[in-house]
Amino acid sequence: MCASCANSADDAAVCDGRLALTTERLSIALPREEQAGAMLGFVTRNREHLKPWSPPEPAGMYTLEHWQDVVKKSAAAFDAGSGIRFWMARREQPEEVIGSIGYSQISRGPFCACVLGYQIDHGFEGQGLMREALSATNRYMFNVQKLHRIGANYRPENVRSGRLLARLGFRIEGYSKNYLFIDGDWRDHILTSLTSDGFDAGWIKAG
């Protein structure tokens, strides 16, 4: 997959087999082993901030070993074409992870879709950074991964996330009761999606 991504988008590059996207203020890349400690720091300092919007924490989440394992699993999912995880950092401080973006459940064939999830450090909310990041990663998923639809679902209480998705062009498609087990209970979610106007039907692969 890496070789096909090289020079495939104006803000994407592959160096040493590692996909990286660059925006005006951000570096957004596949997780690297040397970033495991920075990601541990991110989830630790944002534990309470992210709790209302996150599924139950996996065992060992607050250990370095857990995030080293996440790096390996992320690379395997990318190679298999089943999921893509990005960690984001400011260009002037690349050693500090300030957010995470994930595209999971990637489907090909007649569906050509995936599900989006994202998180940003509480200290960097309200600066347009996640919008900047998602603009780049969504474009990559459409133009390079050649998907047609990106789904993104959020709790009605998460007004900030709903506004962000609307600004990015996501449209509300429905409302699902008891959709996900979040913050200790089954939570309703608003269902949205973004589709690609530039999708080429010739990209569809059977399977």
Q: Cα separation of 84 and 136, whole Å?
A: 14
SS3 31: coil
pLDDT computed for residue 82 by the predictor: 96
Entry pTM = 0.90
Q: What is the residue extent of each domain of the chain?
A: 2-203
Task: Going residue by residue through the chain, which has 207 residues, state the pLDDT in tens, using 9 for 90 and above.
Answer: 343 344 444 466 554 446 899 999 999 999 999 999 999 999 999 999 999 999 999 999 999 999 999 999 999 999 999 999 999 999 999 999 999 999 999 999 999 999 999 999 999 999 999 999 999 999 999 999 999 999 999 999 999 999 999 999 999 999 999 999 999 999 999 999 999 999 999 888 644
- Length of the chain counted residue by residue: 207
Q: Which CATH superfamily is domain 2-203 in?
A: Gcn5-related N-acetyltransferase (GNAT) (3.40.630.30)
